[in-house]
Amino acid sequence: MSRTLNWQLAGAEVVLHGDCALFYPAESALLVADTHFGKAALMRRRGLAVPSGQSRDDLYRLTNLLEEFNPQRLIVLGDFFHHRPMPGEPFLDMFPGWLAQHRAVSVEAVVGNHDRHAAGVDIGLRWHDHLDLGPFRLRHEPEQVPGRHVLAGHLHPVLTLQVAADRLRAPVFWFRDQVSVLPSFGALTGGWDLPRTAEGRTVLVVEGELFQGPD
């Protein structure tokens, strides 16, 4: 077990990280998916007693990843926001200062389905419909693109393993021939249960450590 795992993908060397991130050294790019910033604030406005601090904690996790990999680019594979942020939300107050602390890094995002609700919100990000990086097409939805290996998010894949009475449900990186899906990064994002019969390979994230999934 390890917090990082070197991985071959579409003929390229990448590094998987136990905080649900992927680093592509050839392009000095750090990728995460589905941050869903602002979800906790929305849930509290709707009367759900969820704790505050999700945005602060997730930004802190991103800071640790930037310090570990020292990338030139940080790219979120869609659903940067959970909803259209409201004035005075904690994330809007925190993010400009966080961005200023990391001005040497180009912070970018692919537009996800949740981000479309935030059209016109200018917080200093570079937005893309999609990005081509080496052999990869970076997009939100995991759909095939001819001539490219797609890196995507959107699904929040998790895998459930059970032995007798012991049960483990963990986020996974899910790798297939032409499309790979990163686990969701945001702390409150939940997950979609990957069928055990699903094709491809998985790497489980368990308490920050990486384990190759069952064949």
Predicted confidence (pLDDT) at residue 39 exceeds the cutoff of 80: no
Separation CA 119–CA 123 (nearest Å)? 11
Are the C-beta atoms of residues 31 and 182 closer than 8 Å to each other?
A: yes
Q: What is the DSSP string of 138-193?
A: E-SS---BTTBEEEE-SS-EEEEEEETTEEEEEEEEEE-SSEEEPPB-STT---EE
Residues 111-145: pLDDT tens digits? 999 788 776 677 889 999 999 999 999 999 999 99
Q: What is the DSSP letter of 183?
A: P
State residue 167's pLDDT score: 76
State residue 92's pLDDT score: 84
Q: What is the DSSP letter of 116?
A: G
Interval 22-39 mean pLDDT = 93
Q: How confident is the model at residue 44 (pLDDT cuts 50, 70, 90)?
A: low
pTM of the model: 0.92
State residue 160's pLDDT score: 87
> 214 or 42: which carries more pLDDT confidence?
214
Residues 146-185: pLDDT tens digits? 999 999 999 999 998 876 667 788 999 999 999 999 999 9
Residues 69-115: pLDDT tens digits? 999 999 999 999 867 777 777 788 888 999 999 999 999 999 999 78
Predicted confidence (pLDDT) at residue 42 exceeds the cutoff of 60: no
> Across all residues in the chain, what is the average pLDDT?
88
> 167 or 6: which carries more pLDDT confidence?
6
